[in-house]
Amino acid sequence: MKRVAVFFVLGTTALPGTDAAAQNWPQRPLQFVVATAPSGGTDAVGRLIGQKLAEALAQNVVVDNRPGASGSIGSALVAKAAPDGHTLLVANVGHIAMNPAIARVPFDTLRDFTPVTLLASGPLILITHPSVPAKNVRELVALAKTKPGRLNYSTGGSGTT
């Protein structure tokens, strides 16, 4: 857990190193690897930021969706890419912090990634169908206890948020 906390602190304060600043960057189109399928919040943010970055740098940005394994496929691709700043990972907290905590992944978050910036944040919500009589979490838990095995839920999978 300490490693995850360190990563997030560094992620909000990291600045490019002097070596990166001294280079003429970017030297070719950027690859934004989005560790989710097309659609959804992470993809939308990656596409929007990619478009704005392309305009600001006068350089193409290719959005490359690499979904699978709760983001580990895209994350591993970026971890193995040349460390030249042309391949960037657009991911969420599940991909780089939660997955390594619950599964064996082919990358080390602290060793293989350099945090650049927080692109967006959003709330997580719990919703029910209007016909469900529960109006808050306490009522939903109570209802579930009276109907064991009869309530269903949906999730993006282990390691997702």
Domain region containing 66: 2-112
Report pLDDT digits (tens) over 93-125. Answer: 888 888 888 889 999 999 999 999 999 988 888
Q: What is the pTM of this model?
A: 0.70
Do 43 and 19 sit in the same domain of this protein? Answer: yes
Do 65 and 90 sit in the same domain of this protein? Answer: yes
Do 104 and 139 sit in the same domain of this protein? Answer: no
| Residue 36: pLDDT band with limits 50, 70, 90 | very high
- Total domains in the chain come to 2
Q: Quick one: CA torsion of 72, 74, 80, 86, rounded to 10 degrees?
A: -150
141 inside domain? yes
pLDDT of residue 1: 47
Do 108 and 60 sit in the same domain of this protein? Answer: yes
Task: Please say if the pLDDT value at position 6 is more than 60.
Answer: no
The span from the CA of 109 to the CA of 104, in Å, is 12
Would you call 83 helix, strand, or coil by DSSP? Answer: coil
158 inside domain? no
